[in-house]
Structure 1
Amino acid sequence: MDVKIRRISLFLLLSSIFLTSFSETDQVLNSKKPTPSTSVHSPASSFAFQIKGNVYPIGYYTVNLAIGNPPKLYDLDIDTGSDLTWLQCDAPCKGCTIPHNRLYKPRGNLVKCVDPLCTGVQSAPPCAVTNEQCDYEVEYADQGSSLGVLVRDYVPVKFTNGSLARPILGFGCGYDQTHPGHNPPPITAGVLGLGNGRASIVSQLHSLGMIRNVVGHCLSGRGGGFLFFGDQFIPQSGVVWTPILQSSSVQHYKTGPADLLFDGKPTSVKGLELVFDSGSSYTYFNSRAHRALVDLITNDIKGKSLTRATADPSLPICWKGPKPFKSLHDVTRNFKPLVLSFTKSKNSQLQVPPEAYLIVTKHGNVCLGILDGTEVGMGNINIIGDISLQDKIVIYDNEKQQIGWASAKCDGPSKS
């Protein structure tokens, strides 16, 4: 009963926001002549964005952000696994994947080396001459990267109460991109870095006194969802919390240790430290944990009319049935639920039903969406990706240094 009431109240709130604040045209038209914000909003203020995309076949979730003067909409891959927001840049641009008219064009708004924001993206002293431009380089777990220069520009946003703010925020103008982990490469304008480092958009908005240092998302298993900044969307009850672990990589939301349960029973997979990463389509375990999981699943589905589909290139491990599967609904009864139980947090468990670790491909096969991270160069890092975050509201509370989640319907009012 509590869950149903909580979902209804969340949707009443979301419905009003979607109707008044989420129109892409509305956001741009209300930001025609931005001027610097001088008023400080209540720290309880929040704003939200509609999400587009899915785990499969698109492989990422995006939001549209208005940037510039006059403002222009850019679709950005939401990424809690990295810190810096960047756009493909008209500089000229190497490795760019979008048409020239969608590139961001700098206009003398470069960030200098002496700027505190520069030290937020560079660990070493950035440059010998303080008035030089601040360069950046980010590398991702899939071996992709972006190289460019930091800039500042207007980023108009509309709060849930309808008021408009026009903060000037720093982000990267990327003129050299590599995409070895994607084939074909993503056609988004860039990446929205939502990590907890100083260069994060969330951290910058918090430092301006505009929001609590909280970010969250609700990714729908049917595609879409919503992203929010601030604490207004945190359910008042029913959220499972676990602490964020301190890490040498401050932009990572790392938690743990956690033990893996299979069909409610303990397994040999114990003590996993996990990074919550919305920039990763799939979940990744280290080789030892992945091998143990595959063995558990393989032994469990014996005699269930499933055989390995080695010809399906969608993911490394796939199975086929007597006839092609049309949806996950056709196949999930053959697989057991998983649970990640956080041993240092009382009653803190992340439920991972079959829908949160399987996909059905265009070939009609079912594939395991938990991959071997060691095999693709991630070492011992374990990542909770989008596939396992679907149909949950996930909250990253940087003020209380904790991550929370609760089951939720993330489709949005139009599909409720």
Structure 2
Amino acid sequence: MAARSASVTGFVLLLLLLPVPSSSSHVKLNLRGSVYPDGYIYATMKIGEPALEYNLDVDTGSTLTWVQCSVPKTLCNRQCHTWRQQHPLYHLVNLKKLVPSMDPLCVELVRHPGNPSDKRCGYNLDYVFESTEGYLIRDKFTFSSNEEIEFFYRRCGYNNYQPGLHGTSPVDGVLGLGRGSSVGLISQLMKENVITKDVISHCIRVGAGGFLSIGENMHSSVDTTWVDMGSDDGATYTYFDAESYKMTVNAVKASLHGSLVEFGDPAMHLCWKGPHIYRSVYEVKPLFKTLSLVFPQQATLEIPPENYLMISRLGNVCFAILPAAEYHSLGDNNLIGAVTMQDRIVIYDTEARKIGWAHDLCRTSEPESVIGSRL
């Protein structure tokens, strides 16, 4: 859900080895973090032997799961860089965990026939705001305190850059929930019958936290609005093409309450200063109007002020919709980010090629961290 913004070398994906019941199963996880100031929505999982905790930034727009790691100098023949994180780096000590170049999943990942003499699977990948290179390895992956899964391929990142990061990052890597690759988390879970449906549901709450369900539709109400699924991506903020951005900004400014004045806050492109310091978007909600996005299927997404505004560290109110034109990799594409979908159940149903959202249940449902089976 957050847009990638680092240059990463090395990763870890995992391969499931333990038998799992063939019933309709799902994985549910607590989500922590916030759209702002964290800029990350993440889940905490355990990886390795012994199992250690890592915070993984949830990203619906990429397929690969990785953590920052340290590797023997023989695998990093140049100066390698990692950003500061809350947990110790993952240590790749056992080189037998490396996936060889000729492994079928490595061949798919790097789109190369492979090298029989190379015992490592190295790769390069470009995100919207970053790039990554690294190695594919096998290791254990634990979703909850009582459900350990010997698990698939993931990647070990040992040379990482996060532009604009100051201090310690709350995340240690990325949990890639995108589809379309055999090395992706969803594909591996389905292959091993941990889940039987290619469905993701999530709730990100205004302020902080939320929950995530993999393999199950958390909401099947008739109140759910559905649109056709396009190319998935993950971003913290929402991005509009030049024309849409200009029209939206003009509409917001035209209806803006006179107590706010435009102010050059470094947090965002467009911010306003009020008569006092703000601490919550709900303080300024009455000063703004709800926006509406109309899709080709005549579906409408209502965006209340708390879903397009944020409060900066200086206590100003800022516009959390950004111009895509200033980010060359986005081009003229519109990208709806996590900020806009807060306090909604959002459903990605790949089998039906639909994305849906519903307003209820997000606040009232209790999160849980389990691997569940409906027998």
> Into which bin does the TM-score normalised by the smaller protein fall?
0.7 to 0.9
Given candidates 271, 279, 283, the residue that maps to 1:330 is 283
More helix by share: 1
Please give the alpha-carbon distance, in whole angstroms, between the structure 1 residues aligned to 2:86 and 2:360: 39
Distance 1:315 1:67, change over 3 A: same
Read off the aligned partner of 1:360 and give its amino acid letter.
I
Residue equivalent to 1:366: 317
Given candidates 347, 350, 353, the residue that maps to 1:395 is 347
- The alignment covers a number of residue pairs equal to 340
Given candidates 298, 304, 319, the residue that maps to 2:258 is 304
Q: Any conservation in 1 of the 2:102–2:115 contact (CA below 8 Å)?
A: no
Given candidates 112, 124, 132, the residue that maps to 1:137 is 124
Residue equivalent to 1:384: 336
Q: Any conservation in 2 of the 1:179–1:185 contact (CA below 8 Å)?
A: no
Read off the aligned partner of 1:388 and give its amino acid letter.
T
Give per-residue Cα distances to partners, 1:293-328, cap 9 Å, x unaligned.
Answer: 112212222x62221012x21111001122333321
Q: Any conservation in 1 of the 2:199–2:217 contact (CA below 8 Å)?
A: no
Residue equivalent to 1:207: 191
Please give the alpha-carbon distance, in whole angstroms, between the structure 1 residues aligned to 2:322 and 2:254: 18
Please give the alpha-carbon distance, in whole angstroms, between the structure 1 residues aligned to 2:141 and 2:262: 49
- State the secondary structure of the residue aligned to 2:248: helix
Read off the aligned partner of 1:307 and give its amino acid letter.
V
Q: Any conservation in 2 of the 1:126–1:134 contact (CA below 8 Å)?
A: no
Given candidates 10, 13, 38, the residue that maps to 1:58 is 38
Given candidates 157, 163, 179, the residue that maps to 2:143 is 157
- State the secondary structure of the residue aligned to 2:97: coil
Residue equivalent to 1:121: 109
Give per-residue Cα distances to partners, 1:154-199, cap 9 Å, x unaligned.
Answer: 22335xxx98452421111111112225445734110111111212
Distance 1:386 1:177, change over 3 A: same
Q: Any conservation in 2 of the 1:244–1:403 contact (CA below 8 Å)?
A: yes
Please give the alpha-carbon distance, in whole angstroms, between the structure 1 residues aligned to 2:274 and 2:143: 48
C-alpha deviation, 1:153, in angstroms: 1.4
Q: Which moved more, 1:349-358 or 1:126-135?
A: 126-135
Please give the alpha-carbon distance, in whole angstroms, between the structure 2 residues aligned to 1:84 and 1:391: 26
**Structure 1: 5+ residue stretches without partners:** 1-34, 246-251, 254-274
Residue equivalent to 2:66: 86
Give per-residue Cα distances to partners, 1:83-142, cap 9 Å, x unaligned.
Answer: 1111111115822124697212232211122223223422x3153336531112233222
Alignment of structure 1 residues 223-234 onto 2, 5 Å: 223-231=208-216, 233-234=218-219
CA RMSD of superposed structures (Å): 2.5
Please give the alpha-carbon distance, in whole angstroms, between the structure 2 residues aligned to 1:401 and 1:322: 47
Q: Any conservation in 1 of the 2:67–2:155 contact (CA below 8 Å)?
A: yes
Please give the alpha-carbon distance, in whole angstroms, between the structure 2 residues aligned to 1:164 and 1:307: 53
Residue equivalent to 2:11: none
- Scaled by the length of structure 2, the TM-score of the pair is 0.83
Q: Any conservation in 2 of the 1:216–1:228 contact (CA below 8 Å)?
A: yes
Q: Any conservation in 2 of the 1:149–1:172 contact (CA below 8 Å)?
A: yes
Residue equivalent to 1:37: 18
Read off the aligned partner of 2:151 and give its amino acid letter.
I
- Answer yes or no: is 1:176 the counterpart of 2:159: yes
Please give the alpha-carbon distance, in whole angstroms, between the structure 1 residues aligned to 2:220 and 2:35: 25
Please give the alpha-carbon distance, in whole angstroms, between the structure 2 residues aligned to 1:183 and 1:380: 30
Residue equivalent to 1:105: 91
Distance 1:99 1:314, change over 3 A: closer
- State the secondary structure of the residue aligned to 1:96: coil
- State the secondary structure of the residue aligned to 1:169: strand
Please give the alpha-carbon distance, in whole angstroms, between the structure 1 residues aligned to 2:361 and 2:117: 50
Please give the alpha-carbon distance, in whole angstroms, between the structure 2 residues aligned to 1:153 and 1:368: 42
Residue equivalent to 2:267: 314
Q: Any conservation in 1 of the 2:20–2:192 contact (CA below 8 Å)?
A: no
Give per-residue Cα distances to partners, 1:26-65, cap 9 Å, x unaligned.
Answer: xxxxxxxxx94124431x2112111110111111111011
- State the secondary structure of the residue aligned to 1:46: strand
Given candidates 295, 299, 304, the residue that maps to 1:353 is 304
**Structure 2: 5+ residue stretches without partners:** 1-15, 368-375
C-alpha deviation, 1:354, in angstroms: 0.8
- Answer yes or no: is 1:221 the counterpart of 2:206: yes
Q: Any conservation in 2 of the 1:220–1:409 contact (CA below 8 Å)?
A: no
C-alpha deviation, 1:220, in angstroms: 0.7
- Scaled by the length of structure 1, the TM-score of the pair is 0.75
